[in-house]
Amino acid sequence: MNKPRVLFLCNANSARSLMGEALLRHMAAERFDAFSAGTEPDRPHELTLAVLQQQGIATDGLVSKSLDEFAGQHFDTVIVLCDKAQQACRDWEGSHTEHLYWDIRDPRLVDRENAYEQVLQEIRRRLSLWLELNERESASQ
């Protein structure tokens, strides 16, 4: 049986969406296939990779990708992490069953030393809740 596919989407695919992809793999790789993309991809931010590694989360294979790379593909869940990506998702030529919008501030725009750690913890908290709900729904079916 194929695992459900989850796509994390933000503007640059340099921080938030990469964190989501890495976290989901770390927390539930046996249950989900995780991917990430950006509407205007840049490259993984060094602080993104550093904070993930500090938390013991693998960063192997994390690269910034364009949403265009996933055109025509189906995802069970698309988790959009910023307003700009939310708008671009309307025109995306892919499909999804579940669409979640988590507006999480770009750590590159936050003038705080621990901005990347805070964003990682926010995504982890939301993912934990989503995984718990997903587990309950699966158990009740």
Average pLDDT of the residues in 1-20: 93
Is the model's pLDDT at 20 over the cut of 90?
yes
pLDDT value, residue 91: 67
The 3 state secondary structure assigned to the chain is CCCCEEEEEECCCCCHHHHHHHHHHHHHCCCCEEEEEECCCCCCCHHHHHHHHHCCCCCCCCCCCEHHHHCCCEEEEEEECCHHHHHHHCCCCCEEEEEEECCCCCHHHCCCCCHHHHHHHHHHHHHHHHHHHHHHHHHHC
Average pLDDT of the residues in 57-61: 94
Is the model's pLDDT at 55 over the cut of 80?
yes
Is the model's pLDDT at 50 over the cut of 90?
yes
Average pLDDT of the residues in 30-41: 94
- The domain spanning residue 113 has which CATH number? 3.40.50.2300
Is the model's pLDDT at 41 over the cut of 70?
yes
Total of domains in the chain? 1
pLDDT value, residue 137: 83
| Domain that includes residue 26, residue range | 5-140
pLDDT in tens, 91-120: 677 788 898 999 899 998 888 889 999 999
Mean pLDDT of the chain, nearest integer: 91
- pLDDT band at 138, cuts 50/70/90? confident
pLDDT value, residue 3: 94
Instruction: Please tell me the pTM assigned to this model.
Output: 0.93
